């Protein structure tokens, strides 16, 4: 078992994971707020704020991918210590591809698409991210019997 996720030395890694989850939650909230702002009569400002929030969220999602899917990542270690969770890990990994596709689509639309369409894409993305975060928290709890925070 990878000592990085060994339950006897897990506290620092879980603290880092909790911190990253909080950053992801903050960037999700920032995008939600940017998308909810009025766009009428100030489309360029609205697009700019949404683009900045989306860039921050994209960076946090990619950090999440590195932490979970990297060679020393969480998913590798979960499967190593709890093979019964390999299906759940596979599902979460598949969700990552969908989330990245949605982020890419949003980036293409945020500067050119009508605000209502961008908001619809953003809402779908944020809802999927919230569900993904809950499933990730459930996975960690099942593997390590440790709560990393499932707030949404």
Quick: pLDDT tens for 60-93.
Answer: 999 999 988 988 888 988 998 889 999 999 999 9
pLDDT tens by residue, 119-136: 999 999 999 999 999 999
pLDDT tens by residue, 97-117: 999 999 999 999 998 889 999
The residue whose two tokens read 């860039």 is 55
Q: Give pLDDT, residue 149.
A: 58
Using CA atoms, how far apart are residues 108 and 123, in angstroms rounded to an integer? 16
Sketch the domain layout of the chain as residue ranges. 6-144
Using CA atoms, how far apart are residues 89 and 136, in angstroms rounded to an integer? 9
The pTM assigned to this predicted structure is 0.86
C-alpha distances in Å from residue 4, one per residue of 36, 38, 118, 147: 40, 46, 40, 17
Going 23 to 26 to 32 to 34, the CA torsion angle's sign is: negative
Percent of the chain with pLDDT over 90: 64
The answer to whether 126 and 84 have CB atoms below 8 angstroms apart is: no
CATH architecture of the domain 6-144 equals Up-down Bundle (1.20)
Q: 5: pLDDT confidence band, cut at 50, 70 and 90? A: very low
Better pLDDT: 107 or 14: 107
Name, of 4-8, 32-36, 73-77, the range with top average pLDDT.
32-36
Helix axes 43-69, 86-110, angle to 10 degrees: 160
- When pLDDT is averaged across residues 42-66 and rounded to a whole number, the result is 96
pLDDT exceeds 70 at position 144: yes
Using CA atoms, how far apart are residues 139 and 117, in angstroms rounded to an integer? 33
Q: Give pLDDT, residue 73.
A: 85
Q: 1: pLDDT confidence band, cut at 50, 70 and 90? A: very low
Q: Give pLDDT, residue 147.
A: 55
Using CA atoms, how far apart are residues 9 and 146, in angstroms rounded to an integer? 13
- As a 3-state breakdown, the chain gives helix, strand, coil percent values, each rounded to 5, of 80, 0, 20
């Amino acid at each position: 078992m990878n000592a990085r996720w060994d339950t006897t030395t897990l506290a620092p890694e879980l603290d880092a994971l909790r911190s990253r989850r909080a950053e992801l939650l903050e960037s999700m909230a920032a995008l939600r707020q940017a998308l909810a702002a009025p766009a009428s009569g100030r489309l360029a400002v609205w697009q700019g704020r949404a683009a900045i929030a989306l860039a921050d969220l994209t960076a946090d999602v990619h950090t999440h991918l590195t932490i979970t899917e990297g060679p020393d990542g969480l998913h590798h270690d979960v499967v190593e210590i709890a093979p019964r969770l390999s299906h759940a890990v596979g599902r979460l990994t598949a969700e990552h591809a969908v989330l990245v596709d949605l982020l890419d689509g949003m980036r293409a639309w945020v500067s050119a698409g009508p605000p209502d369409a961008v908001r619809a894409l953003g809402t779908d993305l944020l809802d999927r991210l919230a569900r993904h975060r809950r499933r990730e928290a459930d996975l960690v709890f099942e593997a390590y019997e440790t709560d990393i925070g499932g707030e949404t």
